[in-house]
Every structure is written in C-alpha cells, then in structure tokens.
Amino acid sequence: MKKFEFNPRKFASGGLIILLGMGTAIGSIDYSLGTLARMGPGYYPLMLGVLLAFLGLLIVATPDSPDEMMPSEDEVDAAAKKPSPIRPWVATVGSMLAFMLLGKYGGLVPATFAMIFIAALGDKDNSLLASVLLGLGVTAFAVGVFYYGMQMQFPLFNWG
C-alpha cells in the first residue's frame, strides 16, 4: 500500500469539490425534501451535493497514480507554458449560475436548456447548432424524467 503524501493540487481540487458539494447540500435544505416515493424540490440537489462531496473526498484520499502514468518533467514544463483555457471554466461556472437563477425565476425548461447550452459552448469543437440541439435533447429528457416520471415539484415554466 502506498504511503499518503500531501499533494497540494489534489488537496485543492478535492477540497473545492467538497465545498461545492457541501454548499449544494446545505442550500437544498431550504426546500422541501419530501420522501423517496414523493421527492420534493430539495431532494435531488441534496443527493447530488452529498455525492459531489463524497467524490471530492475520494480525490483527496486516494493515492497518486503509479510513476509510469505520471507525465515527465518535460511534459509538465510544456503544459505550464501554455495559457490556461478560460472558455471551459467560464462556461461551466456560467451554466451553473444560469441554472440557479433560471431554476428559481424561469422554471425547469429554461433552466435546463440554458445550463446545457452554455456548458456545451465551453467546448471549442461544438457549433452553435450542436449546442442548441444538445440543450433541446437534454431538456426534453429532464422534463420526461423529472417532471412527468418522478413528478418533482419543479414548475416547467415560472413567470415571475
């Protein structure tokens, strides 16, 4: 068994995921949780928050990859010289913010579409049409599963 070594990058990334998961779980408590048979609007975010925090804990607690899987110093130096891509980060954070705002003020359909559309734009290989089609497909799936299938108490549209 490999001895635990402190890795600041893993600790920071895992810690950030833990904080995000805990924040999601704590924020979901403001909503009605319901029961497993009749889930309230806070049930799903609570489960996702707990799962996210657990995954962050796994990132922090698991040992590093074997040495042969680690990049060489030359590869690390070359990657450090490249500028960090900002587009995926902005799209990811923007999609989460859009879902939070539109989920409260717009409903499930606009929130889901905006989240998927904005996140898809984070990939430079995605076209505008592909992002729209992906947003429409995932929105239709979410409406079918969460609104009709699970009968979640999340309005499709909320005008106000």
Average model confidence (pLDDT) across the chain: 86
Answer yes or no: do 95 and 130 share one domain: yes
For the entire predicted model, the pTM comes to 0.57
Answer yes or no: do 151 and 95 share one domain: yes
Overall number of domains in the chain: 2
Answer yes or no: do 111 and 152 share one domain: yes
According to DSSP, the residues that pair with 39 across neighbouring strands are 34
Answer yes or no: do 91 and 147 share one domain: yes
Going from the C-alpha of 20 to that of each of 86, 93, 144, 149, the distances in angstroms are 20, 12, 27, 28
- What are the φ/ψ torsions at residue 155 (nearest 5 degrees)? -65, 145
| pLDDT at residue 121 greater than cutoff 70 | yes
Answer yes or no: do 140 and 95 share one domain: yes
Q: Does residue 4 lie within any of the structural domains?
A: yes
Last residue within a domain, chosen from 67, 93, 112: 67
Q: What is the pLDDT of residue 68?
A: 47
Answer yes or no: do 94 and 159 share one domain: yes
Answer yes or no: do 93 and 160 share one domain: yes
Q: Which residues constitute the domain of residue 19?
A: 1-67
Answer yes or no: do 107 and 160 share one domain: yes
Q: Please give the Cα distance from 75 to 85 (Å, whole number).
A: 17
Mean pLDDT across 76-103? 85
- pLDDT tens digits for 36-48? 788 888 888 899 9
- pLDDT tens digits for 28-86? 888 888 887 888 888 888 999 999 999 999 988 887 665 545 667 777 777 667 777 88
Q: What is the pLDDT of residue 153?
A: 84
Answer yes or no: do 61 and 92 share one domain: no
